[in-house]
Amino acid sequence: MTGEFVTLEVAEGVGTIRLDRPKMNALNTQVQQELRAAAQEATERNDVRAVVLYGGPKVFAAGADIKEFAETDYTQMVARAEALTGSLTAVARIPKPVIAAVTGFALGGGCELALTADFRVCGENAKLGQPEILLGIIPGAGGTQRLTRLVGPSKAKDLIYSGRFVDAAEALAIGLVDKVVAADDVYTVAVEWASTFTNGPAWALRAAKAAIDGGLDVDLETGLRLESQLFAGLFATEDKRIGMESFLANGPGKAKFTGA
């Protein structure tokens, strides 16, 4: 898939959703639309088994297009806000492992995009944050919700109330990112991590993501019911048969899954 600013490139089972809107990958309306389209294609394509979100070697995404925001009034934003949230939610709902490869700035909407991923790898030069409060607004594309679920309410309030940036070391310490590597290695490490899932049982990975993400939004009893239903459904897959026959014959970790 090729958009003007967002592309989906696929190699050996890993789909890279790449942002390329100079200079800072600002998430204007067109980028949002192209992100949604890329997420939908990554969801539908069988040759995509895992996804990397990448903004290039210098910056992940520095946030919303502030010029566009400055020219938007209340009634216009009421009409646009749901589409803004929906574009990032489309990425969050990709039913495959998703890894954000963060270099440089991931601020505002850029940080919110990184939060849609299952895992985040960042460079030693990375700066992450939700500085919307400095503009007189709050995060509007999932920041108050996904950040809180990831790092807890107290730390999320610290970052959102102050608008301050955190460096890679602090982001790792508070659980905002999962790995910190040299800036030049971010994309390579993210692709290597994504590649560990490409030969896995696709339906089981999909079910695991659905159970974990869905369970976060409900009480324990409802979450357990969701897990039970997804668990039982996997007994209809070819990978279940392959995995169990391989285990009985050869022990764990040797199954050659087909994704069926």
pLDDT digits (tens, 9 = 90+) for 112-150: 999 999 999 999 999 999 999 999 999 999 999 999 999
pLDDT confidence of residue 144: 97
Question: Which residues of the chain fall short of a pLDDT of 50?
Answer: none
Please give the pLDDT value at position 73.
Answer: 86
124 catalytic? Reply is: no
What pLDDT does 129 receive? 97
Catalytic residue among 12, 34, 41, 112: 112
Q: Which of 132, 227, 238, 245 is catalytic?
A: 132
Assess contact for 191 and 14: CB atoms under 8 A. yes
Predicted pLDDT of residue 70 = 86
List, as one string, the DSSP characters of 201-226: -HHHHHHHHHHHHHHTTS-HHHHHHH
Q: Is residue 132 flagged as an active site residue?
A: yes
pTM, rounded to two decimals: 0.94
Give the per-residue pLDDT at 2.
78
The C-alpha atoms of residue 8 and residue 237 are separated, in whole angstroms, by 28
